[in-house]
Structure formats: structure tokens, C-alpha cells
Amino acid sequence: MPGLADFGKDPVGIMILKGAVIFVVLMLGVLFGVWFERKLISRMQNRYGPNRAGKFGLLQSVADGLKMGLKEDLMPRTVDKVIYFIAPVVLATPAFIAFSVIPMGPKVSIFGTVTPLQLTDLPVAVLLVLAMASIGVYGIVLAGWGSRSPYAMLGGLRASAQVVSYEIAMGLSFVGVFLYAGTLSTSEIVAAQAEGNTVTLGGLSIPMPSWYMILLIPSFLIYIVTMLGETNRVPFDLPEGEGELVGGFQTEYSNSLKFAVIMLAEYVNVFVVSAVSITLFMGGWRAPFPISTFWPEANTGWWPLLWFFLKMVLLFAFFIWCRASLPRVRYDQLMALGWKVLIPINLGWIMLVATVRAMQLQGTDRTVVMIIASVVVVGGFAIWLRFDNVLQKRKEARAAQVEAEYRQLQEDPHAGGFPVPPLDLPHYHGAAAALETRADKTAEVPSGSN
């Protein structure tokens, strides 16, 4: 099992080779991802999808890439050229850097050198991923700023506000994993999920996976929502709202190589958040349950690379499923979900996880821990229901008030002065009389005088 001590000892040639392979795999993954997304969405919509370029349309992405690379690069006259050129690079580079700390397998032999299937690892590797996600938003803001377009600028501002809001919730969803794993290193978090778990029911011990997506279900569900917001994907693709912002921050980028780089960054970001989900919540590169229970060699050699990419395909299919089935939410709904729902739930869940973990480390009986945790969860759910009922009653009262005003207007169109206050209403008579008196006292001003 790789650990922090296993990194930094590879020959320079092996490190360059691993970095080049990761870059090539991500580039090929983008080509496959574009084809897979179009094909899967078409099947969900009862269509064929791309089927002309190559067998099953597999070369469609290659054809699209060549088309964008050979198109004329049109540059608007008013753009800031330096920022306009550098924005796609700033958007794409952090995504590739973040993937360098993702573990994709155990130690293997490459040209006689035993090395982990991971470029590098750090004691704070997860924080590096969060930092790279934060830097990526600068590319979106710069793309909007450098384009000198109101649509692009609004798209960039929306993206910055959205990423700041949802990255807080994303970081908080990792805290439970840190408390149980005791580390921020990605390779050691995968190692912490290697030990199997058992559940005893009626004297029968049932083997269960020790994945944190099962142990920390609220953290996993919150992360699933935040990774959609972090990557600006449906239903949180507000920075690219066609009906409001044309094309969002990329409005002024023609279908050229710069647009291809922006599109590349979007897909690589999707791969990064999917890989982080696999590493922190789904056991990393380890075989899915229950394969490892009857096949011990499933987690050795090059087999874990297969399990890792199968999980990646599964999560990417989830992104596509959301795009094909969910509508775009309003901007106020997006921000309310991030600040009023995800962050408060996260904070309460962290307090519960920290308490349970402290009791476990102190040797408290597991039954007592489960009882206390259950009471807290049930109490929190009851409080949430109470607040939900209060909010629902307020909404019903507001709707009833609006309905009453509407009926009053139907009976008396002058009630409330809607839509334009008529001057013959009683409460306007005083103002009208004052205006008439002032008009009588005002003398006519000769032409040309001040």
C-alpha cells in the first residue's frame, strides 16, 4: 500500500513518464468524454447521436477538434488581448495540476522501477486540489473581463460567486473524511478505506465495505451536489445561461483553438472532481465490494487501474444523466441552496462526526455511540421538519394575501392604485389640489430667461 514515504524517490525519467501519461490519458479522456456524453444523451432522448465519423461515431470528437483547430481565429476589436489570450490557459492549467495527487493504483513495476501509480502526494494533497479549484475560477473571471462584453462579464461574476459559495460546502464535506482517516494525504485516505467492515445482525456477521460514502453518507451527498456547482454543470450552469447571457463568459471566444481549450478545461475539471470523489468516498482504486472478498488479487498489480476508470465512467455518466434530466435552477435558488442549506447541514454534521469520533477514540462502547448519534440525527430531523412547516405556513399565508389582493382588484380596479394610481382617488385629492394652487401662483417665464 503506497504511503507518503514512497514518493519523491523515483528517477527523473519515471516521473516525466508518469506526468506525460497522465496528460495523454486526460486528453484522450476528453475526446472519449465528449463522444460518450453526446451518445448517452441521445439514447436518453431516443436519438442515435453521432454515427457518421468512424464506427459508432467514435471519431466525431477527433473531427470536431480538427475543425476547431483549423477555423479562423476571430478576435473582437475591443478585447484586452493579453487577458483574452491568457484566460483559457489559466482555466485549464490548475485542472491538470490537481490530477497529479490522485492515486490510481498501488505500487507496480515500470521498467524495473517499483513506483506507485500516482505522480506525487503531499501531507495536504486534498488542500492542493481545493486550491487548484479556486485558481481555476480566475480563468473564468479573466475570460469575462478580457472580452469587454457585458454578457461575458456577468458570466464571469456569476462563476466567481458560485465557486466561492460551493467550495465552502465542498471543503466542509471533506472534514468528516479527515476526522476518520486522520490525514489529508490522498494515498493514506485510500489506505484508511482498505480495512473491511462487518455488521452483526442476529448473530450473523455480514461483511461490508469501509468506504466513507457509506459511513459518511451526508458528506458524500453534499459533495455530489457541490461538485456539480463547482464545475458549472447542469443544473448549476448559471455562468453559461444561454437565455440570459448568450454564451456566458465564453461568448466572445469563437469556435477556435481557444474555445477548445476552455472546453478541455471543463471536462478535465469534471474528471478531477470525479477522481476526488472516488479517492475520498469510494475506496479509491480498490475493487468494488464484494469483488475483493473472494478475489484478493483484485487489488494488486495493474487491476486497480481498471476499477479506478470504471468508477470514473460511472460518475461521468451521473453528470450526463443530470444534464439530460434536470432543468437549470434560478440564480437565487442556487445561492440559497449553497448558503442556507448545504453549509448549515455541513456544520451540524461535522459537530456530530467529531463527537462520535472522539467517543470512539476514548474507547466508548459502540452501542452507546450509536444511540447518541441516532438521537442527535432524529432530533435534528425533527427540528428541520419544524422549520420546514413554519416556512410552508408563511408561504401559504403570503399566497393567500396575494390571492386576496387579486380578488379585490377584480372587484374594484382602483383598489391599491394598480397598475397606475389614478388621480381621482380620495387619497390623491390633497396632492392634486396642492398642485393646482402652485400652478396658479406660478407666473409665466419669458422665453430666453433663466
Residue 252: φ, ψ to 5° = -85, 0
Residue 133: φ, ψ to 5° = -65, -35
* 204: helix, strand or coil: strand
**Residue 197: beta bridge partners?**
208
The mean pLDDT value for 325-329 works out to 89
182 compared with 245, residue with greater pLDDT = 182
> Which parts of 66-128 are beta strand (E)?
107-110, 113-116
Asked whether residue 16 carries a pLDDT value surpassing 90, the answer given is yes
Confidence (pLDDT) at 199: 60
C-alpha cell, 106: 498501488
C-alpha cell, 65: 477538434
Asked whether residue 435 carries a pLDDT value surpassing 50, the answer given is no
Q: Are 249 and 65 contacting, i.e. CB atoms less than 8 angstroms apart? A: no
Asked whether residue 197 carries a pLDDT value surpassing 80, the answer given is no
Q: For 59-83, how does the pLDDT look when each residue is reduced to its tens digit (9 = 90+)? A: 999 998 888 888 887 888 888 889 9
Q: Are 232 and 159 contacting, i.e. CB atoms less than 8 angstroms apart? A: yes
Q: For 72-123, how does the pLDDT look when each residue is reduced to its tens digit (9 = 90+)? A: 878 888 888 899 989 999 999 999 999 999 999 999 999 889 999 999 999 9
> Count of alpha carbons within 13 Å of 80, Cβ hemisphere only?
14
**Residue 198: beta bridge partners?**
207
Confidence (pLDDT) at 386: 86
Average pLDDT, the chain: 85
Question: Would you say the pTM of this structure is higher than 0.85?
Answer: no
Q: Which amino acid is at 93?
A: T
Q: For 369-393, how does the pLDDT look when each residue is reduced to its tens digit (9 = 90+)? A: 778 888 888 888 888 888 888 888 9
Confidence (pLDDT) at 202: 58
Q: Which amino acid is at 410?
A: Q
Rg (CA), the chain: 29
Asked whether residue 406 carries a pLDDT value surpassing 70, the answer given is yes
Q: How many angstroms separate the Cα of 124 from the Cα of each of 26, 129, 168, 216, 338?
A: 23, 9, 17, 21, 25
Q: How far apart are CA 309 and CA 304, in angstroms?
A: 9
**Residue 107: beta bridge partners?**
116
Q: For 223-262, how does the pLDDT look when each residue is reduced to its tens digit (9 = 90+)? A: 999 999 989 888 888 777 666 666 778 888 876 788 889 8
The mean pLDDT value for 411-428 works out to 57
89 compared with 1, residue with greater pLDDT = 89
DSSP one-letter code for 337? I
Q: How many other β-carbons are positioned within 10 Å of the β-carbon of residue 216?
A: 23
For the chain, what percent of residues have pLDDT higher than 70? Answer: 86
* 113: helix, strand or coil: strand
Confidence (pLDDT) at 431: 47
Question: What is the pLDDT confidence band of residue 427, given thresholds at 50, 70 and 90?
Answer: very low
Q: How far apart are CA 222 and CA 277, in angstroms?
A: 11
The ranges assigned to domains in the chain are: 4-364, 367-418
Asked whether residue 428 carries a pLDDT value surpassing 70, the answer given is no
The mean pLDDT value for 175-180 works out to 94
C-alpha cell, 342: 448545504
For 210, residues 6+ apart whose C-beta sits below 8 A from its C-beta are 193, 194, 195, 196, 197, 283
Asked whether residue 174 carries a pLDDT value surpassing 90, the answer given is yes
